[in-house]
Every structure is written in C-alpha cells, then in structure tokens.
Amino acid sequence: MSEIGRLLVRAPNWVGDVVLSLPALRDARRAFPDARLEVLARGWVADLYRAVPEVDAVRESQGLAADAEALRGQHDAALLLPNSFATALAVWRAGIPERWGYATDGRGLLLTRRCPVPPAVRGRSQVYYYRAMLEGLGIATEGPPDATLRCPGEWSDRGAELLGEGAWIGVNPGAFYGSAKRWLPERFGAAADIVARRAGAKVALVGGPKERPLAEAIAEGMEAPVRVLCGETTLAELVGVLSRLRLLLTNDSGPMHVAAALGVPLVAVFGSTDWTETAPVGGASRVVREHADCAPCLLRECPIDHHCMTRVGVDRVASEALELLAS
C-alpha cells in the first residue's frame, strides 16, 4: 500500500456524515503522507472539503457513468466511505487498481481490499464506524478523532456580512431527514428569546429553503431581533455564518455537525435519533433529550404523539445554553 501516489477518497453524501468521517480521512492522510489526496463528493457537500487542509483537490461527482469516465487512469487507489454498490462500481469501471471499503451492499467482489462492519461500532460515535473501516483495511488510526473544519477567512468574512453588526446566536429548527427529528418550533423561538436577552445577542435562523416557512413562523413569534437566512446561503456561506455565532440551538442535523466541527458552542435536542452514534463531536456541545421507551426509532415521521420531543422543555434548553455561554 506504500506505493500509493494518487489516492481518491469517495465522500459520504450527507453533510453530517462528511464531518463524522473526517477523522478517518485524516488517518488516510497520515498513512499516505506523500500521496495526492483527492476527494470525490456530491455537489451539495463538496465545498465542505475546502475547509479541510489535508485534502489536495475536490471533484464533484456527476453520477456513476460520468465519474467512471472522468476518473479513468487518474488514481492508484480509491477509499470508499459510503457503503453503496454504485460507488464501488464507479471506481471499478474507472479501472482504479486498488479499491477499498466495507464489504456491504453486495459489492465485495468489486473491492480489492474489504472488511465487514464490526459489531463493536454500534452504540459508539459514528467517527468510529469510519475509523474501524480503515483498521479493517490495515490502515492505522491514531490519536483522538479530529473532526474539525477550518473555516476559510473569506467564508467567515462573508458570514459576518450576511449577519450584520452585533453578537449573534443561531437557531437551526429544521432537519432534512424528517419532522420526527425536529423539536417544537415555538420552543426554539422561546429558548432563543431567553438566551438572546441574557446574552445581548440577535438571532439568526439558519437552514435550507424548505425550512424558510418554518423559520418565518418562528421569527414572527419572537421578541429578540431576528434574521431569517434559511434558503439564502450556499454551503460555504452557511459555514461562514455558523463560524460567527456565539452559540447554536439545533436539532440533530448537518448544520449541527458543521457547527461542532467549527468549535461553535451548541445545544442539540435529540429525540428519535441515536445520540450515542450521531451526537456532535468535540468542542463545547451539549445534548438535551428526555427518556422515551420508543427512542431511538430512527423514523422520519412520528407515528404517535412525538413525546420524545414534547417532553423537552424550553427552560432546560435555555439553561444549558446559558451555562455554555457563561463557561
């Protein structure tokens, strides 16, 4: 494996998974210090790798056939972080001689180096899911996991421009996966009002275009000065905005992981998802959740009364946030 001069890393397709796989990417960088490390990523996550200094170049995936054509003869090895058959087929069709990854989705025969998913990764942060793959492939992992992003200066400047003057806290009230992951919108607004008043801050509501109606409804009910940025930011601009926040109140979501990777203090409300595997990594993060026998259900929509979320009170979230700010 030491003769790998050009290494392709196929990125996960979700923002949160990209962040949680960064420690494994850095392990690969350490294992091949002289290789040119290129990342192949879907367009909606590709920019995140521009905040990862260990990456030499980023390519946007254009789909299986186009990727196979574009990658032909360009790399010595491909490390596949996603588990899908299609990602293995693309690098096999591209003729990349070494193809590494978990033996999942019936793709084992397409891989030259493969390993099963070890049961021991269940119930641990997902960073160990990716690191265990490297260990299974014979690539050493070292030290505590480093899932940090370094926000480029121009992104941070753009974030400041979008926010305007003053101190800001953020609220990320959506969750792309589904409504089961969302805390109650009016409670986000009430908690943000308490924190903003005590901290002398304004409130930025962040997220994608689909979350804009939700954010506008929250903003209408709030007392603090508010800006709704949902749907107004590229991924790079969202990273820039998050980097300028004093604190983020959030659901379990991609922006939560990005904020944690930037070292932004945050309070994350968890209900239907498994906090043992997808809690924010590192930094000043707090997870707030209440007991529910049915949690984690991992469903997109709650089929009953959503009590995993309705049991989480405004005061609890606000006091965790104020403690974080005070520390």
Nearer Cβ to ligand SF4, position 144 or 303?
A: 303
Nearer Cβ to ligand SF4, position 60 or 277?
A: 277
294 in contact with ligand SF4 (CB under 6 A): yes
Distance CA(86)–CA(101), nearest Å, equals: 12
Nearer Cβ to ligand SF4, position 120 or 291?
A: 291
Among 6, 36, 307, 316, binds ligand SF4 (CB under 6 A): 307
Stretch binding ligand SF4 (CB under 6 A), from 149-157, 169-177, 207-215, 303-311: 303-311
271 in contact with ligand SF4 (CB under 6 A): yes
**Is there a contact between 102 and 133 (Cβ–Cβ < 8 Å)?**
yes
Q: Count helices and strands (H / E) in the chain.
A: 14, 12
Closest CA to 241 of 259, 226, 254: 259
Residues 274-308 as b or e (16 or more Cβ within 10 Å = b): bbebbbbbbebbbbbbbebeebbbebeebeeebbb
Coil, helix or strand at residue 171:
strand
Nearer Cβ to ligand SF4, position 1 or 299?
A: 299
How many other C-beta atoms are found inside a 10 Å radius of the C-beta of residue 164?
Answer: 11
Distance CA(6)–CA(32), nearest Å, equals: 9
Among 8, 137, 139, 180, binds ligand SF4 (CB under 6 A): 180
Among 191, 295, 317, 318, binds ligand SF4 (CB under 6 A): 295
304 in contact with ligand SF4 (CB under 6 A): yes
Q: Strands, E, within 187-322: which ranges?
A: 202-205, 226-228, 247-251, 266-269, 285-288
Minimal distance, residue 122 CB to ligand SF4, in Å: 18
Minimal distance, residue 304 CB to ligand SF4, in Å: 5
Footprint of ligand SF4 on this chain (CB under 6 A)? 180, 271-272, 292, 294-295, 297, 299, 302-304, 306-308
